[in-house]
Every structure is written in structure tokens, then in C-alpha cells.
Amino acid sequence: MRARPTCLLCQGKGVIVDPNPTLPARMCVCSGIAKGESLIQGIPARYRDVSMESFWKWWKCEFQDEKILEELNEARTLLEDGHCRETIPIDLQNKIAGILSKCAPKSEREREWENIRSAQEPNGLGALKTWINKSYKDKDICLWWIDGPPGSGRSSLASASLQAWCEKTGRAGLFVRVQTFSQELKNTYYDSRSWQNIDFLSERDRMAPLELAPCLVLDDFHRIDSDIRVVRAFAQLLDYRWSELLPTIITASKWSETLQAEREPWPVMKLEDDSLLNRLSQARRVELVPTLSRLMRSVSH
């Protein structure tokens, strides 16, 4: 293993000497990262073979053409009815009209839809794919939020996005399951009566790979542990990565603002960190529901 010359933990030595002379020296976490510079670490076996293409094929099976065609016809009828159109906000009308124009046939005489992908794909997926292909040009976009209920494919999409980004940029990526990592962090806080830190790693040791990863996925962020020290560590991580313009992809069961408004307090709320909450709310969002379905749901509300 070769160490990372710029590592703040070992100063490029590859090993960390414990201040306690009775404890042995240990390999620095940067050695593993440096060795696997071109590799993607941490992706669960279930998601390793997922690509953006295979995710799309699965998505089309979940939200079949018939349902989308039905919604397209409903949306067209809605906008053609002057009375109904007046009850819809202008910005929402424009969004629906935009989807219809992308799916419309070339000839105005035809009523069959030509290409329904714009209506069928998840809301925000197109922007995510554009960012993956051009992220090196737009470094200000460094935080993505993918939300959807269980089984909606959020972990699959995050994995596919991470692998696509790494392939495009030639840089390394790291996939972290928040609930599991929360437990690992707690191992550093409690003694053997409750938890065991068998690797003798500090919080800084454990957080270093997450800080150094060129691209990071934090999977199931809504399942973060309620221990205030764990929450604070993740908050500091997000603050660091945002400051350093390092891309981070978060998945969760609900949108950030929805989690903030829940009756059951989200552990992140304990920090009362308005800057963090505002940053999360401004993340680029991919909502795992067909784009047109989301717009039509807004009409009914």
C-alpha cells in the first residue's frame, strides 16, 4: 500500500503511531484509498452491477407505458379545457405543457404520443445524468438528494450514479450505508460494556475516508443514529465536503424539508444548525416518481 502524500493523519507516512506507547502503530486509512484510487468502494453486492441503463430498464417495468399514456391523455385534456386550466397555477401549466411538447408527435394531426420518456422518467433524473457527464464543468453542484419510499430504487440509482461518475472522471468513489456507519462511529464512543472498537480507531480515523473520497454516497441518511456525537460528525463531514466542492449523493426515504417538518424529530434537527438545514434543502433533488405523475399530483392538490 502507498500512502497519500497530503494525508493530514499520517503526513504521508502510511502509518499512525498512537500517543500511547503501549499500543501498536496502525495503517492509515489513506493507504487503502490510495491503493484503490481507480476503484469504487463500499457498494453492496446487490447494487454492484446496476448501471444507469439497467436502472432505466427496471424503472420502465415499474411504471409501464400504459399508465404513463393514460396520464399524458389526461394532462392534454386538462390543458385543452379552458375552465380547468384556469384553476391551475401558470408555472404548473407551463411545466405540464413542457412535458407534453417533448412527448408530442411530430404532426399535429396525430394523437398518439411519440416518445413518453420525458413523462416517465423520475423527476430530476435528466439533471442528474447531465451533471454526471459535465460535473467537471459545474463544480458548484456538489450535493444531490435522492428520495423515494422503500423499494423505489434510490440505493440502486445512487450506486449507478456513483459508478457512472467514477467512470466519467476516472476518480475514486465511496458508498456508505449511514445506519451501519453510525454504529461504527458509536464503537469509538463506548467501552466494551456496550460496544467494541476492536480496531482502536478514533472518530477522525473513521471519518477520514469519507472526507477524502472524491465522490461519496450516504445511503439512507434518514436512518442516522440519534446519538448527538454521530449527528455532529456527519454534519461536520457535509460541511467539509461542501466547502471543498466534493460531490456527495444522499439518499433518504423523504425530501429534506419533509424530514425537517416531521412530528418525530429527525436527529439532524438536534444540532439547530440552520446553515446545514438550508444547504440540505437546496440540494439538487431526484424524486423517485415519474415526472408527469408528480405534476399531476400537484394539480389534484
Q: What share of the chain is helix, strand, coil (3-state, %, to 5)?
A: 50, 10, 40
Residues 6+ apart with CB under 8 A from 179: 220, 223, 224, 225
Q: Do 18 and 47 have their domain in common?
A: no
Residue positions counted in the chain: 301
The pTM score is 0.83
Q: Do 1 and 77 have their domain in common?
A: no
Q: Do 218 and 253 have their domain in common?
A: yes
Confidence of residue 112 (pLDDT cuts 50, 70, 90): confident
Residues 6+ apart with CB under 8 A from 174: 40, 41, 42, 209, 210, 213, 215, 216, 217
245 phi-psi bin (left φ>0, alpha ψ -120 to 50, beta other): left
Q: Do 27 and 172 have their domain in common?
A: no
Query: Out of 18-27, 90-99, 225-234, 247-256, which region has the weakest mean confidence (pLDDT)?
Result: 18-27
Q: Do 209 and 262 have their domain in common?
A: yes
Q: Do 15 and 144 have their domain in common?
A: no
Q: Do 26 and 47 have their domain in common?
A: no
Q: Do 90 and 127 have their domain in common?
A: no
- The domain containing residue 285 runs over which residues? 40-55+123-291
Residues 28, 18: Cα–Cα separation, whole Å: 11
Q: Return the SS3 of 79.
A: helix
pLDDT higher than 50, residue 137:
yes
> Residue 1: its pLDDT value, please?
46
Number of structural domains found in the chain? 3
Q: Do 26 and 51 have their domain in common?
A: no
pLDDT higher than 50, residue 36:
no
Q: Do 19 and 82 have their domain in common?
A: no
Residues 6+ apart with CB under 8 A from 23: 200
Most distant CA pair in the chain: distance in Å?
84
Mean pLDDT of 39-51: 91
Classify residue 111: in a domain, yes or no.
yes
Classify residue 60: in a domain, yes or no.
no
